[in-house]
Amino acid sequence: MKRITASIGLVGLLLAQTASAADWQDRPRVGGFRATCEDLATFCFADACGSDQIEAAETCRARCPSAVILDVLPAACRIPAAPTGPVLRRRG
């Protein structure tokens, strides 16, 4: 009986992985880094996303030119310049 439940679980796991192997929905890429910056002299506060730490910090500085970068953290945020289209992922 244990062998049957184990094989059913294994088949279910394999089917779940094959369903997520390709994402054919056309949506913007999510991921990267979120930078937070502020300029207390002009009361400018901004958050910006980028595909890497430098791009996130530069995008934040573009919104508040004389701001200080407070932190750059990994975050699931929408990256505006990312190309849309199918995303293929490796299985396993």
12 located within any domain:
no
* Assigned domain for 86 exists: no
Q: How many domains does the chain have?
A: 1
**Residues of the domain holding 49:** 29-81
Residue 42's pLDDT band, with cuts at 50, 70 and 90, is confident
Q: Are 14 and 63 in contact (CB under 8 A)?
A: no
Q: Closest by alpha carbon to 90, among 9, 21, 4, 17?
A: 21
Q: Is residue 76 part of a domain?
A: yes
- Rounded Cα–Cα distance for residues 75 and 79 (Å): 11
Q: Give a yes or no: residue 6 inside a domain.
A: no
Does residue 42 belong to any structural domain of this protein? yes
Q: Indicate the pairing of strand 22-23 with strand 87-88.
A: antiparallel
**72 assigned to some structural domain:** yes
Residue 17 maps to a domain:
no
Residue 37 has a pLDDT of 92
Q: Is residue 48 part of a domain?
A: yes
The confidence band for 72, taking pLDDT boundaries of 50, 70 and 90, is very high
- Tell me how crowded residue 69 is: count the other CB atoms within 10 A of its CB: 17
**H helical segments located in the chain:** 2-19, 53-63
